Amino acid sequence: MLTMITTYRLNDFDPKAWLAEVLVWIADLPASRLHELLPWEWKLLRQADKPAGSAGR
């Protein structure tokens, strides 16, 4: 767990937010898309959802 949290912090995002979303998504996500739950993929998806010009996390 410590390694996981440290990885998320090194990638500059909140491990609690990631875990909360993963727990919601994982039940309905097909196995072929599990890679989307990896921290760096999740971060890219979150950034893509932000409106253009928004700052912060």
Q: Which of these, 33, 42, 32, lies nearest to 4 by C-alpha position?
A: 42
In whole numbers, what is the pLDDT of the chain averaged over residues?
78
pLDDT band at 32 (very low <50, low <70, confident <90, very high): very high
Euclidean distance between CA atoms 25 and 44, whole angstroms = 16
pLDDT average, residue stretch 30-46? 83
Residue carrying the six token digits 């950034």? 47
pLDDT average, residue stretch 24-39? 87
Higher pLDDT, 44 or 50: 44
